[in-house]
Amino acid sequence: MRLNWVHLALACFIATCLLDGVDAKSKKNHARSTAAEDSAPVAAPTREKKNSKTKSAPQAEPIRVGEEFSIEDVDEDKIDAILKDAVKNLVVFFYDGRVKCPNCGDALSEVEEIDDDIEATGYIEVVKTDDRRVARALGVNTFPSLVYFRRRNPILYDGDFKDSEVVWRWIRAHDEVATWDLTDDNFESRTDSFSPDEGSLDWFVMFYDSEEPDCNAFIATWETVAHKLRGLVTVGKVDTSVSDDVTERFRIDEGQCPTFLLFHRGKMYRYSDPAKDVRGLTQFALTKFKDQRGHRVPEPPTALENFYESAKEHVLDALDDNHTLTAIGVGGLILIVSFTLLAKAYNIRQQQNASKKTA
């Protein structure tokens, strides 16, 4: 019995030692596991956070005007075909289909709201385009933009696209062309720039070259200026490529195109601000021109001088066409006119000398 107690005590001692060893091994493994967790898995949560950030802020795609809009998308050829028809006026909405244009979609939505009203007039058609060639030809360099053609005469919309009714009222208010076309034949009779009548409106005239694309592109903006000044200042334009006499009379430098002259009470004022925008031009015509010193308007050519210039042009045209007999006949006519002018100048000088002697 005593031996059994000894054996039992020995068995308990051995069991206690085995349990202590297992407990120590378990603690050691737990320590290793904790150390591994502290060192290795740290990158996993970071990667997870990065991925979630990428998903929440994706790269913005360029906004494009797609087929969900009903207004027809056209190119330069289609626009030219519509304008050649000359039966309808044309509204052209410009958007940028190449790069991100956050406002183009919203602006087009506003135009879409009045599309039916515009078409219901029976004489206005609406299209949209992202053709850069058409935009450059009309001086459009920001998007979205809108140009309204009235009998092929463009005008640039200078408002915003926040309210479709505002756009619609602007279109209806700009049906008429406000700019006068001036030439060698009608410039002075129309403007009376040299000796205007008392109380007549001033004239603001743009000299441009229709054969120079960059210069010709300003016509739409100039029409906007004309409507801003309507009833206050009369606005006109001269194509220097066909009106040589007026161009020479006012010494227009064709290298500086376009050129703007304001005619006020027999004097002329040149717009020299490099910023050729609607606001600057309008303010100049109303008040800013007074900050300059005006120059006397050159005297218009006489009837004989006009006849001489016309005859000279006929001679040059005849020479270009190799019409020898016509050139000789017109050349003789020019000589007769030249002698007539010399005789007139001689008579005027004789009269002046006679009056001096009498005095």
Confidence (pLDDT) at 303: 61
Strand partners, 203: 234, 263
Name the residue with higher pLDDT: 150 or 100.
150
Residue 151's H or E segment, with its range, is: none
Name the residue with higher pLDDT: 83 or 329.
83
Distance CA 177, CA 141 (A): 23
Across 71-80, 198-207, 293-302, 344-353, least confident range? 344-353
pLDDT, the chain, mean: 80
69: which residues sit within 8 A by CB, 6+ positions away? 108, 109, 112, 128
Q: For the chain, what are the domain ranges? A: 72-173, 180-301, 303-338
Going from the C-alpha of 332 to that of each of 153, 215, 317, the distances in angstroms are 42, 39, 15
- Structure-token match 């135009």, residue found: 111
CATH architecture of 180-301: 3-Layer(aba) Sandwich (3.40)
Distance CA 261, CA 285 (A): 9
Name the residue with higher pLDDT: 238 or 51.
238
Confidence (pLDDT) at 102: 84
- Structure-block tokens of residue 149: 């053609």
**Residue 289 DSSP symbol:** G
Residue 73's H or E segment, with its range, is: strand 72-73
Distance CA 103, CA 110 (A): 11
Winning range, highest mean pLDDT, from 21-30, 87-96, 307-316, 321-330: 87-96
Confidence (pLDDT) at 323: 60
- Structure-token match 């270009």, residue found: 320
Name the residue with higher pLDDT: 205 or 318.
205
For the domain made up of 72-173, the CATH class stated in words is alpha beta
Q: In 3D, which of 174, 160, 276 has the Cα closest to residue 227?
A: 174
- Structure-token match 């050129």, residue found: 259
Start-to-end Cα distance in the chain: 176
% pLDDT > 90, the chain: 60
Please count the residues of the chain.
359
- pTM summary value: 0.70
116: which residues sit within 8 A by CB, 6+ positions away? none
Count other C-beta atoms under 10 Å from residue 191's C-beta. 21
Are the C-beta atoms of 253 and 262 separated by less than 8 Å?
A: no
Asked if the domains 72-173 and 180-301 are classified in one and the same CATH topology, the answer is yes
